[in-house]
Every structure is written in C-alpha cells, then in structure tokens.
Amino acid sequence: MPKSGVALLLVGLLGFVLGGCMQATLAPTSNASLTARDRQLLARPPYARADIPETYRRHIVDYTRKEQPGTILVDTNARYLYYVLPGGKAVRYGVTVGEEALAWSGVATVGRVAEWPDWIPTAEIQARLGPYPKRVAGGPENPLGARAIYLYQGNKDTLYRIHGTNQPEYIGQAISSGCIRMTNEDVIDLVNRLKPGAIVVVLPPGRSA
C-alpha cells in the first residue's frame, strides 16, 4: 500500500477510536460516599491494589436498551454491570462473573443490602473449594467485600449476590462461583445509587447487551 494510503488508514482508525471514546467518559470518583468504617477498612487492605484496565473502570456511557432508570443490567459476556440512568445514559462498572458452568442468569430484585457482611460458605462451595470456616466475619479479608446486594425472586433468596471483593485483580474475568464481584469502591458507589426492590437483569453467557 502507498504511504499516503497507510496514512489515511491510520487517520481513519484514529477517528474511529476517538469517536468510540466520546461515548464513554470516566465517572468521577469520590470518597464522599465512604463511611468512616469504609475509610478505616480500605485504608490498608490485605490485598494488592490492582491496576484495573481503563475499560473496566467506572464510566458514564450511552445506553440504548429499554430498561428503566434505576435498573441493574449485567452483561456476563462483556464483564460489565450497568446502572441505568435517565436520559439514555448508564454507569458502567467492570465486574468479575461466574465461570460459564456456574453463571446465574435471569431477572431478580434487590431483596436487601448489607455493609461489610459476614460470609457463610454454602455446602456446595465447601465441597468444591473448602474447607472454610462456617462463618467469615465481615472485613477487607472477606470475599464479599464492602457491600453485598442480595438477589431475590419473589420472596425467595436466589443465593446469588452482587458484592465487593478481596481479589480486585480478577475484575474483567469469569472465575467466580456464580456471583458478580465488583471492586469495593465500585460496589459502594452502586449501593449508594440503588433503591430497594430495584430490578436486576443478568444476561446469560452468549448474549450481550
């Protein structure tokens, strides 16, 4: 290809990339949403601070699906969680999702939310990954992290959660036992936006938003 053609191709690609970037802006981060306990427990976490790739950091993005503002949508394939805002926008967070054989999908509601919850490993997790203590106290070493959002269908707990993590290095991957993991800072941000009873849509593997 002539040099002029290469130059035009590069300019075209650059324009495409920049055009795509204009649809997503990094959402401002703030410690204003953190409680005193959050600040204390997150000041010196017992895990390495992960360098989250920019694509999986918190962004404000265009949102063209039909879900109403206040809805959570999880795109399992892309490893994104969207919190739908008014005006065709959403907050997009990077997440860790379940391995394909363990991934949960469906429509649920936010049954309850807990701050720095205790973790009680299920019998299935004990058999597959244990042994664990019967109960792990809430804190930065706890796999549920800073917040847990409990997903219900009707009055029944699905046993699946959207929660923080003590393994932020896995954001953007599919390795969990089915739950949706977020960084502790992101799950705090999400919980502060949520209303009780909010609808949660989790797309199955193979289907993207």
User: 198: closest CA among 33, 69, 57?
Assistant: 69
Residue 179 is a catalytic residue? yes
Provide DSSP, 185-204. Answer: HHHHHHHHH--TT-EEEEPP
Contact status, residue 11 vs residue 46, Cβ threshold 8 Å: no
Q: Is 21 considered catalytic here?
A: no
Main-chain phi, psi angles of 6, to 5 degrees: -60, -45
User: CA-CA distance, 198 to 60, in Å (whole number)?
Assistant: 20
CA distance 61 to 27: 9
Angle (CA) 28-33-37 rounded to 5° is 135
CA angle in degrees (0–180, nearest 5) for 157-78-57: 90
Token pair for 191: 């919980």
Structure tokens that stand for 179 in this block? 């739950």
Q: Which of 144, 171, 179, 190 is catalytic?
A: 179
Query: Active-site residue among 59, 147, 161, 163?
Result: 163
Q: 86: closest CA among 102, 70, 100, 73?
A: 70
Active site residues: 163, 179
